[in-house]
Chains A and B, each alone.
Chain A
Amino acid sequence: AQSVTQPDIHITVSEGASLELRCNYSYGATPYLFWYVQSPGQGLQLLLKYFSGDTLVQGIKGFEAEFKRSQSSFNLRKPSVHWSDAAEYFCAVATRGTSYGKLTFGQGTILTVHP
């Protein structure tokens, strides 16, 4: 069965520092890949997605992610974190050939930003 692993449950960074959140997946073939952000009192919001093509994907709010097939990874990055980025981040995958919206999510990584 497919699975998504986010190894870091909680990450703390200082404002202005760079950020990398890790995501690894276990699938038979390259799935569709997504990163979502969830802030308290708000619904999940899509940051970026990878379907095919360029393996470096740009998203909203200055985030980017890189798909590495050899490592089965899709890590999320941001060069300079803002206090408003504090939230929980979820990596998710969908099997090719099925609905884009039938997602398997990782456990999530909680990001704390120190001033």
Chain B
Amino acid sequence: GAGVSQTPSNKVTEKGKYVELRCDPISGHTALYWYRQSLGQGPEFLIYFQGTGAADDSGLPNDRFFAVRPEGSVSTLKIQRTERGDSAVYLCASRDSSGELFFGEGSRLTVL
């Protein structure tokens, strides 16, 4: 069956530009998570959706980052005025009823 799909797989942008990263979770999973993984580090939690609402956005680093999930399925992570420090792999995961997270392959963002 289809897993978690993330697009684009790679994104190169210039400092100051706006970026959108998309996540398509496993069908039927109501919980969706965004993580950021910097080089040589473990993933860091950004935000969690239960349905359409953000249940916990405590991991978003600043107000340049926000995410939406308007219909309770696909989610978009949006980064304004990108900085070189935003370069990382952005991971999306959806959760099944047993509590297991299923991760996508990630979107690698490079800010020049």
**A contacts, CB < 8 Å to B:** 4, 32, 36, 41-46, 49, 51, 90, 92, 98-108
Bound Cα distance A60, B59 (Å): 30
Pairwise interchain contact A101-B93, C-beta atoms closer than 8 A: yes
Pairwise interchain contact B31-A101, C-beta atoms closer than 8 A: yes
Contact A101:B101 (CB < 8 A) given known A43-B106, A44-B91 = yes
CB of B43 within 8 Å of the partner chain: yes
CB-CB < 8 A to A36: which residues of B? 103
B105 to chain A, nearest CB (A): 5
CB of B66 within 8 Å of the partner chain: no
Among A41, A51, A107, point to the contact of B42 (Cβ < 8 A): A107
Per-residue A-contact encoding for B29-69, CB less than 8 Å = 1, 0 else:
00101010000111111001010000110000000000000
- Name A's interface SS: loop
B40 to chain A, nearest CB (A): 7
CB-CB < 8 A to A51: which residues of B? 99
Contact A103:B101 (CB < 8 A) given known A43-B91, A44-B43 = yes
* Contacts A/B (CB < 8 Å), 26 sampled: A32-B99, A41-B105, A43-B102, A43-B105, A44-B43, A44-B91, A44-B101, A45-B103, A49-B100, A99-B31, A99-B48, A99-B55, A100-B99, A101-B31, A101-B95, A101-B99, A102-B45, A103-B43, A103-B45, A103-B101, A104-B45, A106-B42, A107-B41, A107-B42, A108-B40, A108-B41
Bound Cα distance A1, B18 (Å): 32
CB of B4 within 8 Å of the partner chain: yes
A109 to chain B, nearest CB (A): 10
CB-CB < 8 A to B42: which residues of A? 4, 90, 92, 105-108
Per-residue A-contact encoding for B62-105, CB less than 8 Å = 1, 0 else:
00000000000000000000000000000101010001111111
Bound Cα distance A103, B4 (Å): 18
Bound Cα distance A106, B43 (Å): 8
Pairwise interchain contact B43-A101, C-beta atoms closer than 8 A: no
Pairwise interchain contact A102-B33, C-beta atoms closer than 8 A: yes
CB of B8 within 8 Å of the partner chain: no
Pairwise interchain contact B99-A42, C-beta atoms closer than 8 A: no
